[in-house]
Structure 1
C-alpha cells in the first residue's frame, strides 16, 4: 500500500461450502498453542501494551540486518458456545516467555499449554465459510485509534466479542499474527512502498502550505487538523512496532450466519478509526476461490508482509486480554485468584 494511497477492498462476504473438511490437532500444530483464561480484575488494553512491549525481541541477520524475528499470534475463538482466548508461540522458548509475561502483566490470569484435542475449530465439508483480512486505510505512519490519544470510551473488544456470539453450531475466529519490526521502522526503510519518507517527513508535509488548483493556482495554509495530525504522526517515532496480519473467519451450517458474523466482526474493527489522522482498518473479504488457502494460512499461523505495522499502543487495542469492562456473555473467565493449576479441559477430546 502506498504512503498516501489506499486500496479499495474487493470481494464478497457471500459464504460458500468447501469440498473437504479441515481439522488441525495440537500435535499437528507448528509451535505451541497456549490457552488463556482471563481474570476479570486487570487493566485490559494497558496491561496488553505492557506485555507486547516486553515481547518486542527483534532478531537480525547479515550485513543488511535482515529481520528474521519469529512471529506469533493472538486469537479469539467462538467455539463450542464459548468465547476463548489463545496465544500461539513459535517455539517452546517463546511459549515459556509468553507465560512469564502474561503472569507479570495480568495477575491471576491463567495460561496453560493445550496438550490435546483441536488446535483450531473444526471445519466440516458441509459448513459455509466466509472470511476477511484487514488492512490499513492509509500508510502505517498514520496511527489508528488506540488507548492513548483519543482513546476508547470502552474496550472495543466488547463490540468485537458481542459480534462473535452466534448459534451453537457456528464458529468464529479472529487471528492477529504479529512479528517485531526493526527499531528504525519509522525511518523510511521498513516497507517496500515507503519511498524513503520518515515520520518526520510526513509530519513536515502535513504542516506545510500547499499549492492547490490548476487553472488558478493558489496557496492553501495547513489546517489546524493537518497540524494536529502532524503531531500525532510524529509521536510514532521511537515507539516499538509490530508487522501485523489480521484475519477473520466465520464457519456455520447456516449460510446467512457465516456471512453475518464475518461481515459483522470485520465491521467492528473498522471502528478503530482515528478522526485526527483519518486512519482505520479496511476489510478485504476473501474470495471464494481462495478460502481453502486462507484456512491453511490460519492453521499455519502464517505471517506475510501486508505492509501493515502497528505500534505497541495500536496493536494492544487489537490483541489483548480483556477485563470486567467486557460484559459479553459466554467468555471463558477465570474466577479463582490462585494460579498454576491446569484446567480440566486443557486436554480436549472430540
Structure 2
C-alpha cells in the first residue's frame, strides 16, 4: 500500500476546522469550486480537444491515534492554491497543513475489513443533501463522527474520490444507461400489479411522482461522479468487521432520502478484494461505477464539521487568524472566482500557459 500511496501525484492537505464555524452552511460553495463546465469524459472528444480531461479530487476522514482528521486531495499546484484561497474565504479560522504521510502507518498483524458505497437506485434520484428534497436540518457528520471515534488502536478511513461530470451528465455516460428523462417516464408511467394472467396498471404513487420531479430537476445542475470507500484496520477480525459495518450503516441511514427513496448501499469486500480496495484507496484511484451526485448532495457528504459537532476526538484547530482570536475572524462575503483570479507567478511557463486556458 505504501507504493500505491507514493504513486499518488496530487497533494494532500490536512484541514483543521474550527468549532465555531458552520461547515455545512458553506459546503455547497466549496464543492462548486471544484467543478469545471468544460470537461468531457469521452476519450474521443479529449483526443480532438473538444473538452478538457476531468481532474480528480478526494476527501477523507482518517481515524488515527483515536482522533479523526480531514484530508483533501488536490490534483496539482494550481488547484492546491485555489483550494487554500477558497477555504480561507469560506472558513477563515480553519488551518491548512500538508499531510505528513500519504497513508496511515499500519502495524504488522492488523486485520482489514472494508467496502464501498454505491447508490441503491438510479443515479438521478437525489440523496439527502444540504438543500433540495428532504434536506438536512442538522449536520450528518455528527452521527458519522460518533461512529468513527471511540475505538482504540485502530485505523479507519472513509474516502470519497470525485471528478466533475460534463454538462449533459443526465443523458447517461455509457450507451446502456438510461437518461433522466427515461427514469422520469418510468416513474410517472405507473405500476404494473395483479397476476401474470391478469395484470393491471395502477397510477403512480405520490412518492413516485415526487421522485420523478426530483429526477427531472437534476437537468442543468452541476454534478460529480463519485467513488466512496471505507477501510478499518484493527487488532482482531471481529473488531474490524464490526467497525466497518457500523460505518456502512451510518452512511446508508443518514443519507437516505424519504422523498426520493435514494440511499447509499454498502458493498462489502472480502480477502483479495479488500486488499485491492485498500490499494485503490491508497492510490486515490477513480473508476466509474454509475454513482453521480449533484452539488448539494456531494456537499452533504464532503464538508467540514462545525459547532453542531461536539465530539472531542476531532482534529480541531486551536489557532486564530493572525493576531486575532478565532471568534473575530471575518468570512468573505463572496469567495473569489478561482477561474479568473489565479496567481501563476510560481508556476513554470508551460504550466502557466495551460492554466490560462482552463
Greater helix content: 2
TM-score, normalization: structure 2? Answer: 0.81
Q: Is 2:201 the partner of 1:219?
A: yes
2:33 aligns to what SS in structure 1?
helix
Mark the CA change 1:236 to 1:122 in structure 2 (over 3 Å): closer, same or farther: same
Mark the CA change 1:23 to 1:123 in structure 2 (over 3 Å): closer, same or farther: farther
Please list the CA deviations of residues 185-220 of structure 1 after superposition, one character each: whole Å capped at 9, or x if unmatched.
01x23235314x2x2332233223455443223331
C-alpha RMSD over aligned residues: 2.2
- Any conservation in 1 of the 2:158–2:228 contact (CA below 8 Å)? yes
Measure the CA separation in 1 of the matches of 2:49 and 2:212. Answer: 31
Please list the CA deviations of residues 139-194 of structure 1 after superposition, one character each: whole Å capped at 9, or x if unmatched.
101111112221224211111111111433111111000000001101x2323531
Q: Is 2:252 the partner of 1:273?
A: no
Q: Give the CA deviation at 1:270.
A: 0.3
Alignment of 1:272-291 (within 5 A): 272-291=255-274
1:270 aligns to what SS in structure 2?
helix
Q: Give the CA deviation at 1:27.
A: 6.4
Query: Which of 237, 254, 275 does residue 236 from structure 2 map onto?
Result: 254
- Any conservation in 1 of the 2:4–2:279 contact (CA below 8 Å)? no
Number of matched pairs: 314
- Which ranges in structure 2 are unaligned for 5 or more consecutive residues? 41-45, 324-358
- Any conservation in 2 of the 1:79–1:121 contact (CA below 8 Å)? yes
Q: Is 2:313 the partner of 1:334?
A: no
Please list the CA deviations of residues 272-295 of structure 1 after superposition, one character each: whole Å capped at 9, or x if unmatched.
111222110010111212222222
Query: Which of 7, 11, 16 does residue 37 from structure 1 map onto?
Result: 16
Q: Is 2:153 the partner of 1:176?
A: no
Q: Which residue of 1 aligns with 2:30?
A: 51
TM-score, normalization: structure 1? Answer: 0.83
Q: Which residue of 2 aligns with 1:112?
A: 97
Please list the CA deviations of residues 287-323 of structure 1 after superposition, one character each: whole Å capped at 9, or x if unmatched.
2122222221111100011111111111111111111
- Any conservation in 2 of the 1:24–1:119 contact (CA below 8 Å)? no
Q: Which residue of 1 aligns with 2:352?
A: none
- Which ranges in structure 1 are unaligned for 5 or more consecutive residues? 1-21, 341-350
Query: Which of 115, 128, 135 does residue 111 from structure 2 map onto?
Result: 128
Q: Which residue of 1 aligns with 2:140?
A: 156
Alignment of 1:26-105 (within 5 A): 29-57=8-36, 58-60=38-40, 61-63=46-48, 65=50, 68-105=53-90
Measure the CA separation in 1 of the matches of 2:109 and 2:313. Answer: 26
Measure the CA separation in 2 of the matches of 1:159 and 1:193. Answer: 37
Q: Which residue of 1 aligns with 2:348?
A: none
